[in-house]
Amino acid sequence: MHFRGHTTMSSPLRVGLAGVGTVGASVVTLLERQRAALASRTGRSIEVTAISARERGRERGVEIEGFAWFDDPVALAASPDIDLFVELIGGDEGPARQAVETALGARKPVVTANKALLAKHGMALAALAEKQHVALAFEASVAGGIPIVKTLREGLAGNEIRRVYGILNGTCNYILSRMELEKLSFEQCLSEAQRLGYAEADPTFDIGGFDAAHKLAILSSLAFGTAVDAGAIHVEGIQSISLADLESADELGYRIKLLGVAERSEHGIEQRVHPTMVLKSSAIAQVMGVTNAVTIDADAVEELTLVGPGAGGGATASAVVADIADIARGIRSPPFGLPVASLDHSARLPMQRHEGGYYVRLSVHDRPGALAAIATRMAERLISLESIVQRSKPGKRSPVSAGTTVPVVLITYATTETLIREALAAVVADGYIAERPQVIRIERD
Ligand code: HSE
């Protein structure tokens, strides 16, 4: 690391920016707005000199006439007229990957917000950056404006981390919050999130949990010093969450959040993304709307929670500009905290071995013995019930038995994924259930 004196200005840092959508336009605006402050903080003036985007003529709310234009982002990445390449194209292959590889290959530092690319090719790209002795920075790839990459990599370097978990997808949190508070439909809330620019180009990445999984893969590597292993993540999205679940959760003192959780145990690293019941009194339950939150359990600091905007142009640009400023200052850390060869390939912990409490919502045929049979199937596997609630109002007419069904909600004490799945399979086989059971895991503080 070099320390640059703040009085002697070095040559300007010439930035090439590929992808000028919501975030890219905000990066241009922010660099302009903070021009003087950034120059005095880093000792260098930072100038966007060239850009590349899909459509040249599109209205972006920023002036692009003064920048050199490249139709091809790979040509921009290779240009000798830039010192740093910013990739905001998105996607785990195609032009984004080619352009990042080209820039690193040409010994240019890279700043990217591309979590999908890092989740898939992070190890290869970090190895290339290391070989070329240039920075690969990706603060904006996880939790938008929250500086979580720097927190894990630098701020908590003196800790052993046990668990990192959080709300990593603003779109899902926005949808769940609005459904709960305003009793709106899933579709209405999703269109609103798209209109506000929170959602990915393909919103199934958000609602299916994949965007959160990409981010969790990065956090997990930084937290545990392990190689990025997105394939090891158990992923479930929020599509199956109904207003009935949100109401039951509320009555039982919980709220439903899409959480990404990475946890180290003596058996290996568990990584999972799924809708989760959290106690309404917990810090994470208070996080509503597009806001993200990440909690870290570690030995020295104990518990730390960072809360902030997880998506949107300004917040994401804040993280991109921080990375650009680091590079202007001459800071280069190993992208994932350790040299790639030292990253651990620890054992994955399969989801079947997950231990925790469960919320189960069943649509039960209203017949004598039904509840007793359900409780027996649980007891046979030593699953202890914290509560079992049968809603007094009858449910809908069951198409299977032509009788009525009643909603029954169970909360279990800690058990394993294998046992709860076995118990529910037995309950279904007994013939008391009209619909597939809804299962939501409970996360304790
Ligand atoms: N689609 C993402 C979200 C944007 O909703 O959180 C930030 O990565």
Is 178 domain-assigned? yes
Its sign, for the CA torsion 228, 230, 235, 237, is positive
| Ligand 1 atom closest to Cα of residue 115 | 8
Please tell me whether residues 77 and 176 are part of one structural domain. no
pLDDT of amino acid 198:
85
Please tell me whether residues 153 and 267 are part of one structural domain. yes
CA of 112 to the centre of ligand 1 (A): 14
Is 227 domain-assigned? yes
**From the CB of 22, is ligand 1 less than 6 Å away?**
no
Is 1 domain-assigned? no
**From the CB of 236, is ligand 1 less than 6 Å away?**
no
What is the distance between the alpha carbons of residues 2 and 361, in angstroms, rounded to a whole number? 58
Please tell me whether residues 161 and 298 are part of one structural domain. yes
In the residue annotation, 396 being an active-site residue is answered as no
**From the CB of 206, is ligand 1 less than 6 Å away?**
yes
pLDDT of amino acid 4:
46
pLDDT of amino acid 349:
87
**From the CB of 139, is ligand 1 less than 6 Å away?**
no
Please tell me whether residues 270 and 152 are part of one structural domain. yes
Q: How many domains is the chain built from?
A: 3
Of 108, 150, 215, 257, catalytic: 215
Question: Cβ of 138: how many Cβ atoms within 10 Å?
Answer: 26
Please tell me whether residues 110 and 196 are part of one structural domain. no
CA of 199 to the centre of ligand 1 (A): 6
CA of 286 to the centre of ligand 1 (A): 19
Please tell me whether residues 328 and 386 are part of one structural domain. no
pLDDT of amino acid 3:
46
- Residue 20 structural domain: 13-145+318-342
Residue ranges of the chain with per-residue pLDDT less than 50: 1-7, 398-401
Is 261 domain-assigned? yes
| Ligand 1 atom closest to Cα of residue 203 | 1
CA of 200 to the centre of ligand 1 (A): 6
Please tell me whether residues 164 and 275 are part of one structural domain. yes
CATH number of the domain where residue 408 is located: 3.30.70.260
pLDDT 10s digits, 335-360: 999 999 999 987 788 888 889 999 99
CATH number of the domain where residue 109 is located: 3.40.50.720
Identify which of 142, 149, 206 to mutate to test ligand 1's pocket (most ligand atoms within 8 A of the CB): 206
Identify which of 23, 176, 200 to mutate to test ligand 1's pocket (most ligand atoms within 8 A of the CB): 200
**From the CB of 311, is ligand 1 less than 6 Å away?**
yes
Please tell me whether residues 322 and 301 are part of one structural domain. no
Is 81 domain-assigned? yes
CA of 415 to the centre of ligand 1 (A): 32
Whether residue 49 contacts residue 19, with contact meaning beta carbons closer than 8 Å, is answered with no
CA of 153 to the centre of ligand 1 (A): 22
Is 7 domain-assigned? no
Residue nearest to atom 7 of ligand 1 (CA): 311
Is 204 domain-assigned? yes
CA of 289 to the centre of ligand 1 (A): 12
Please tell me whether residues 97 and 223 are part of one structural domain. no
**From the CB of 144, is ligand 1 less than 6 Å away?**
yes
| Ligand 1 atom closest to Cα of residue 205 | 1
Please tell me whether residues 164 and 300 are part of one structural domain. yes
Please tell me whether residues 63 and 182 are part of one structural domain. no
Please tell me whether residues 134 and 183 are part of one structural domain. no
Give me the chain's average pLDDT, please: 93
Question: Cβ of 118: how many Cβ atoms within 10 Å?
Answer: 28
Match 């020295």 to its residue by tokens.
Answer: 300
Question: Cβ of 245: how many Cβ atoms within 10 Å?
Answer: 23
pLDDT 10s digits, 217-243: 999 999 999 999 999 999 999 999 998
CATH number of the domain where residue 290 is located: 3.30.360.10
Is 335 domain-assigned? yes
